[in-house]
């Protein structure tokens, strides 16, 4: 499978399932056989994920990506042995960070729920082709991740303005909006992925959708 198909949620769910480390191996950069260059997408995803792990208190060294060819057997063995030692030094997930298991799972679940929102907000950067490893550490800053999680947009329907037209409900990609004829619609915040589709869909003459900014770890 192309590394470009390794989704951010897959990595986070691996940690949620108790994996002490996650390794992603891909073909060398600029040597894609199918011209999709998905390994750049994977690299950017990993750089973002490492910052997010660090944000919630998880050792970012538990996640690693390397690029090599099928003929790099010796290199592969060296990399995997090194990563194995790295994960061993980090200890059992959670225990090594001195984070309670339930608390860690809660933090991971909160981020997983926001994956569509995160990818939407960071779409442009996630599609960037970094020129050299020197750019990796600074590509996503700690301050950037802090803003990402402390300034999360949420959407709400004003019952006084809602005309029960149902346009927002029909447009919602995750069926998070419900309502009945002649009654105000509402947004299920547990289902909402904060994509903003409802805000764009609501007719301007109604302007029934409002936004709030909050932190998911408040």
- For residue 174, what is the domain's CATH number? 3.30.70.20
Does residue 185 have a pLDDT over 80? Answer: yes
39 with 120, same domain?
A: yes
Tell me if 61 sits within 8 A of 86, measured CB to CB.
Answer: yes
| Number of domains within the chain | 2
Domain end residue (candidates: 103, 131, 150): 150
Domain end residue (candidates: 115, 150, 185): 150
Where b means 16+ CB within 10 Å and e means fewer, 1-21 reads ebbbebebbebbebbbeeebb
Q: Residue 183 is part of which domain span?
A: 152-214
Does residue 130 have a pLDDT over 80? Answer: yes
32 band by pLDDT with thresholds 50, 70 and 90: confident
Tell me if 216 sits within 8 A of 152, measured CB to CB.
Answer: yes
Q: Which residues pair with 25 in a beta bridge?
A: 66
Does residue 197 have a pLDDT over 80? Answer: yes
| Strands 177-178, 186-187: pairing kind | antiparallel
Does residue 169 have a pLDDT over 90? Answer: yes
What pLDDT score does 218 carry?
73
35 band by pLDDT with thresholds 50, 70 and 90: confident
Distances (CA, A) of 176 to 3, 7, 168: 31, 23, 10
10 with 63, same domain?
A: yes
137 with 157, same domain?
A: no
- Three-state DSSP state, 213: strand
2 band by pLDDT with thresholds 50, 70 and 90: confident
46 band by pLDDT with thresholds 50, 70 and 90: very high
Average pLDDT, the chain: 95
13 with 80, same domain?
A: yes
168 with 120, same domain?
A: no
Q: Per residue in 49-83, pLDDT tens?
A: 999 999 999 999 999 999 999 899 999 999 999 99
Say how far apart CA 113 and CA 115 lie, in whole Å.
6
68 with 94, same domain?
A: yes
Region 181-209: mean pLDDT is 94
Does residue 151 have a pLDDT over 90? Answer: yes
195 with 118, same domain?
A: no
Residues 6 or more apart in contact with residue 12 via CB below 8 angstroms = 49, 108, 111, 112, 115
69 with 175, same domain?
A: no
Question: Can you give 149-201 as a three-state secondary structure string?
Answer: HHCEEEEEECCCCCCCCCHHHHHCCCCCEECCCCCCCEECCCCCCCCCHHHHH
Does residue 17 have a pLDDT over 90? Answer: yes
143 with 159, same domain?
A: no
DSSP 86-117: HHHHH-STTTTTT--HHHHHHHHHHHHHTHHH
70 with 108, same domain?
A: yes
53 with 91, same domain?
A: yes
What pLDDT score does 34 carry?
80
141 with 43, same domain?
A: yes
Domain end residue (candidates: 150, 175, 197): 150
Task: Please state the pTM of the whole predicted model.
Answer: 0.90
Q: Per residue in 84-95, pLDDT tens?
A: 999 999 999 999
What pLDDT score does 36 carry?
86
1 band by pLDDT with thresholds 50, 70 and 90: confident
176 band by pLDDT with thresholds 50, 70 and 90: very high
């Amino acid at each position: 499978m192309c590394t470009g198909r390794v989704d951010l949620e897959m990595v986070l769910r691996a940690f949620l399932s108790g994996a002490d480390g996650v390794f992603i191996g891909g073909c060398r950069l600029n040597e894609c056989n199918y011209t999709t260059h998905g390994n750049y997408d994977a690299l950017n995803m990993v750089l973002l994920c490492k910052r997010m792990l660090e944000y919630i208190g998880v050792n970012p060294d538990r996640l690693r990506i390397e690029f090599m060819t099928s003929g790099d057997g010796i290199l592969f063995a060296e990399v995997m042995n090194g990563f194995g030692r790295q994960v061993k030094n980090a200890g059992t997930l959670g225990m090594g960070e001195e984070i309670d298991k339930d608390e860690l799972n809660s933090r991971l679940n909160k981020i997983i729920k926001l994956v569509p929102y995160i990818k939407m907000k960071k779409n442009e950067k996630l599609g960037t082709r970094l020129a050299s490893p020197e750019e990796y550490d600074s590509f996503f800053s700690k301050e950037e991740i802090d803003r990402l999680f402390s300034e999360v947009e949420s959407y709400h329907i004003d019952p006084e303005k809602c005309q029960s037209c149902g346009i927002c409900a029909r447009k919602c990609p995750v069926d998070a909006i419900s309502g009945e004829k002649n009654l105000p619609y509402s947004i299920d915040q547990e289902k909402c992925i904060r994509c903003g589709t409802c805000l764009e869909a609501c007719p301007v003459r109604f302007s029934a959708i409002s936004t709030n900014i909050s932190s998911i770890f408040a």
